[in-house]
Amino acid sequence: MTTQPSMPLVVQRIRERNRQALEAMIAAEDEADQKRAHLDEKGPDAMQRLVQVADGDSGQSHHCRRVLLSVYNGAAWPLDPTRLRVIDRDLQEAALTLIEWSIYSFDEPYTYLNNGERLMQRYADIEQQKEQ
């Protein structure tokens, strides 16, 4: 009685695992693309909602500016997550959507605003004055 070499079975199992891994990677990319498309729809509205409040002069405005600035330049304006606890629910949702959008987006979110760079600089000036 002769035994069949096991090498073809090993090669077959490796090919199957590679195929499964590739399918999983493709599925993950498809899911990320769908998420990105969803956030590209929701993100600009969320940012606009935060900008509306940030243009005011309340505690909510201060926290919304800090969220916007952290997405604009997180190194200079790190976000303290407790800020999200003190803003209204709809603003919390908008902030989280904006943060997630900034992760998935190919472009910087502020570029979706008219004069977004100038607006972020104005917010930075306001927040710097408040720190002094």
Q: pTM, whole model, 2 decimals?
A: 0.79
- Inside any domain, residue 118: yes
pLDDT of 10 reads 86
What is the residue-averaged pLDDT of the chain? Answer: 92
In a domain, 1, yes or no: no
Structural domain tally of the chain? 1
pLDDT tens per residue across span 50-107: 999 999 998 899 999 999 999 999 999 999 999 999 999 999 999 999 999 999 888 8
Residue 114 lies in a domain: yes
Reported for 104-110, long-range contacts at CB under 8 A and 24+ positions apart, including other chains, are: 104/32, 104/35, 104/36, 104/39, 105/36, 105/39, 105/40, 105/43, 108/72, 109/43, 109/44, 109/47, 109/71, 109/72, 110/68, 110/71, 110/72
Q: Is residue 49 part of a domain?
A: yes
Domain, as residue range, for 86: 7-131
Q: Is residue 2 part of a domain?
A: no
Model pLDDT, residue 106: 86
pLDDT band at 2 (very low <50, low <70, confident <90, very high): low
